[in-house]
Amino acid sequence: MKKILTILAVLYSTTTFAQTDSSTHFIVAATYNSGMNYYGRVDSLHSKGFYPSVGLSLKNGLYATSTFVFIQNKMSNEYAATLIEGGYNFSNKKNTWAGSLSAAKYFYKADVSLVQSAVKELVSGSLTQLNKVMNITIGANVKFSGYTDIGVQAGLDHIIRFGNVLGGVIVLDPGFNAFGGTQNFTKTAYQQKNFLLFPVAGEQVTTSTRKFNILSYELNMPVVYAYKKLNLILTPAYVLPQNLITVPGQPSLSERGANLFYITATVKLTL
């Protein structure tokens, strides 16, 4: 339907867990997702995911990553897609503002059962105001498929740091996000034509409309343990999908979704 699920976004951000690093790094990571979803939309098999990735982050803020998506459900355990992403992370010297700009291209295996597999490209950006009380994030994206969809995001989070824990640092970052975007609707109806007062013919008429709606709300709390070049990230999240598209009498064309608790777990090594 739309874009790929939330894949490793936390790994290359400068907006939450650390000060901006001015060095060049090679990054290797792997993430497990207990409940793959796209704004709370899920496939009928409720798939789980595993995402290994490699990336390069330059000292000027430019980065590039390749992520490989594998899915597991009761019917299959298979490679599903590759995500290629490039972008730019930035922040000011006082570390009170941070943001990112990125573009991504998705390559899907034929006939893969990902709810977001219609999306082929994504361009996005975000900006965060950082402070000790509450970080405020706004973002926007454009998704390209058979249609062009526009998305927006608004979020709040608060960072809690604990130093000198087993030789490293633990960071908690409870947050709330709201996501909105355009949705495309297609409706087919039978229209009767008349001549004077007498019916003479009929035809099917298909109309398409596009509306902007709230897509989901999400509560999450990333827990990060950082030790030298190693980061362990555990993120429990609860997503509440909104405005699911339903087609009467055609469940295969309707979006599936319900309030969902899921966990992502990431191991990241920065070299």
In a domain, 133, yes or no: yes
Task: Give the residue among 116, 104, 123, 87 at the shortest CA–CA distance from 15.
Answer: 87
Query: Which pair of structure tokens corresponds to residue 23?
Result: 């060095």
In a domain, 224, yes or no: yes
In a domain, 161, yes or no: yes
In a domain, 1, yes or no: no
> How far is 139 from 219, CA to CA, in rounded Å?
17
In a domain, 114, yes or no: yes
Q: Supply the range of the domain harboring residue 236.
A: 9-179+211-270
User: What CATH number is associated with residue 22?
Assistant: 2.40.160.40
Output the CA angle 172-220-12, nearest 5 degrees.
70
In a domain, 195, yes or no: no
**How confident is the model at residue 8, as a pLDDT?**
34
If one counts every other C-beta atom within 10 angstroms of the C-beta of residue 154, the result is 13
pTM of the model: 0.84
**How confident is the model at residue 62, as a pLDDT?**
95
What are the mean pLDDT values of the chain's consecutive 10-residue runs (271 residues total)?
Answer: 34 38 86 94 91 94 95 90 94 90 93 80 95 94 91 94 89 95 68 52 61 95 93 96 83 82 95 91
**How confident is the model at residue 9, as a pLDDT?**
37
In a domain, 206, yes or no: no
Q: CB-based contacts of 42: which residues, under 8 Å, 6+ apart?
A: 35, 36, 115, 256, 257, 258, 260
Count how many domains the chain has.
1
**How confident is the model at residue 114, as a pLDDT?**
79
User: If you ran DSSP here, which 8-state letter would residue 109 be given?
Assistant: P
Query: In a 3-state reduction of DSSP, which class is residue 10?
Result: helix
In a domain, 18, yes or no: yes
Query: Which pair of structure tokens corresponds to residue 37?
Result: 């979803």
